[in-house]
Chains A and B, each alone.
Chain A
Amino acid sequence: MQGTEPGYWLGTDSLGRDVLSRILHGARVALAVALVAGTITCLVGATLGLMAGFLRGWVDMVISRLIDIWMAFPPVLFSILLIAVLGPGLWSIIIAIVVIDWTRFARVIRAEAMAQGAMDYVASARVAGRGRIGTMLREILPNVLPTIVVLLTLEMGIAVIVEAILSFVNLSISTDDPTWGGMIAEGRTSVHQAWWVLVFPLITLFLTVLSFSQLGEGLKDRFDPVLR
């Protein structure tokens, strides 16, 4: 275990492995999970939310009840249970995140779609003869898009955290591959002798999640015609 030295800028861990290399390697898992899980969660949640909020009626009944039931499950237990059933691996983490977090999108987008649906421009589109699905995609969707983008980037940050938590408790991908959560778990045991093994992955995690939410803020301003 060494601190900073030339060639090993962030030090080495208890087995003499380079912390910087492991952080970079762990980014592959973290970012893959963030992008894939975030996107799929967003697609599933936003679609259901949009349908519930705009189509209302029995569609809304079914989706809203589903959200209520879903949110009554404790998420951490639920994800650990899911991984236990699915077995560890990249896709298991992604599926767990999608299954748990789609309600986050569905609830917010439903409320937004409902608010937009009450606007006069929707009535005008209906009078002009636009169908329900056409109205939903053309009139409502562009107006909830800024919110979807913000939620998507937040979700990517959350996915990074969830992946770190799961690998912290050793439920992520196989233990041979470096993950930020796994590094943090290892670093925790030797924090008094080698703080860098714990601290640098933590800082990386923190900056990654912060970057995603900043990206969301920036994109929101780009997508919103009033702010543009």
Chain B
Amino acid sequence: MSFLSIRNLSVRLKKGPPLLRRVSLEVAAGEVRGLVGESGAGKSMIGKAVLGILPPSVEVTEGEILLDGVDLLRLPIAERRRRIGASAALIPQDPLTALNPSHRIGPQITDRLVDILGWTRADAEARARALLAEVQIPDPDRVLRSYPHELSGGMRQRVLIASAFAAEPKLIVADEPTTALDVTVQKQILKLIAGMQARHGTALLFVTHDLGVVSKVCQKLSVLYAGMVVEDTSVADFFAAPRHPYSAALLAATPKYTDPSAGLQPVPDTVIATVQAEVAAFDRGTARG
């Protein structure tokens, strides 16, 4: 059975338009699923819903989020927090704001293990040191004593990856973890995440708008448009033959470095019209009941 299973999840702005329209997807244990779509398609919203960090301005209107078989949305808040904390983690998008500027790196990794999961301080510190070494930080002891502002962006993202794996979670949500980084660093970080994921056997929900990233890291893929899953497929099938016209257009829009003369291919208006008609039809359907 899948470790994470989202069924018919609908989220909307309070008394506003829907943001997710009956999203369903599965992530098996140890599997990597990519979530792609343009800005505002609801990719990050899915990750936030899973981790219980939806902004207060939105509400879940229907659906289930099964984490290890238990519907998170039906749990009391404290129990939900405990379950998420024990089995899931986040690799955030922006390494500049994802570390607390007031605390040294060491405590930022270890305090959660000690305070919330009840590890001993010595165990937590040993774990943090080992993880920093695993994410190829040259001088773990120095980094543990550093403040975030003393580290480069790529270094901070490595720390965040180490921190995400610290409690050996079964599921990690990576919310565009390479978007804020230089292209040269992006590649290293991507390799690092893929390597860590494979070694630790962690399921990964990988939010990105970069199909190149998807092809390198993911096995499964959900393509989103306006909060609707327009295609749910394996990555191999997607790159061989995307079924939905929007997916095909998205794939065609990827810049081809081998053939610069092709230029940029925007998603054609006819395709946009097709998906928008689908979204409208969906909204009419749900409005009727």
Which A residues lie at the B interface, using CB under 8 A?
Answer: 56-57, 119-121, 123-131, 134, 138-139, 142-143, 145, 225-226
Q: Which 10 pairs, one residue from A and one from B, show the smallest C-beta to C-beta distance?
A: A129-B85, A142-B102, A120-B98, A120-B92, A128-B112, A119-B97, A121-B100, A129-B116, A225-B147, A127-B51
Which B residues are in CB contact (< 8 Å) with A145? 102
B263 touches A (CB below 8 Å)? no
> For the complex, what is the distance from the CA of A126 to the CA of B51, rounded to whole Å?
9
Contacting pair B93 A129 (CB below 8 A): no
> For the complex, what is the distance from the CA of A120 to the CA of B100, rounded to whole Å?
9
A sample of 14 cross-chain residue pairs with beta-carbon separation below 8 angstroms, ordered by A number, consists of A120-B97, A120-B98, A121-B100, A123-B48, A123-B90, A128-B89, A128-B116, A129-B85, A129-B86, A129-B117, A130-B85, A130-B112, A226-B101, A226-B149
| B130 to A: closest C-beta gap in Å | 19
Near A by CB (< 8 A), chain B positions 244-258 give none
Interface centre among B92, B100, B160 (most CB of A within 10 A): B100
Which A residues are in CB contact (< 8 Å) with B160? 124
Which A residues are in CB contact (< 8 Å) with B98? 119-121, 124
| B83 to A: closest C-beta gap in Å | 9
| B191 to A: closest C-beta gap in Å | 22
| A123 to B: closest C-beta gap in Å | 5
Which B residues are in CB contact (< 8 Å) with A129? 81-82, 84-86, 112, 116-117
Which B residues are in CB contact (< 8 Å) with A123? 48, 51, 53, 90, 92
> For the complex, what is the distance from the CA of A137 to the CA of B101, rounded to whole Å?
14
Which B residues are in CB contact (< 8 Å) with A225? 101-102, 147, 149
> For the complex, what is the distance from the CA of A129 to the CA of B116, rounded to whole Å?
7
Chain B residue at smallest Cβ distance from A138: B111
Contacting pair B115 A130 (CB below 8 A): yes
B94 touches A (CB below 8 Å)? yes
| B207 to A: closest C-beta gap in Å | 13
B103 touches A (CB below 8 Å)? yes
Contacting pair A130 B116 (CB below 8 A): yes
> For the complex, what is the distance from the CA of A92 to the CA of B69, rounded to whole Å?
62
B174 touches A (CB below 8 Å)? no
Contacting pair B103 A126 (CB below 8 A): no
| B43 to A: closest C-beta gap in Å | 15
> For the complex, what is the distance from the CA of A62 to the CA of B88, rounded to whole Å?
35
Contacting pair A139 B100 (CB below 8 A): yes
B138 touches A (CB below 8 Å)? no
B72 touches A (CB below 8 Å)? no
> For the complex, what is the distance from the CA of A121 to the CA of B160, rounded to whole Å?
10
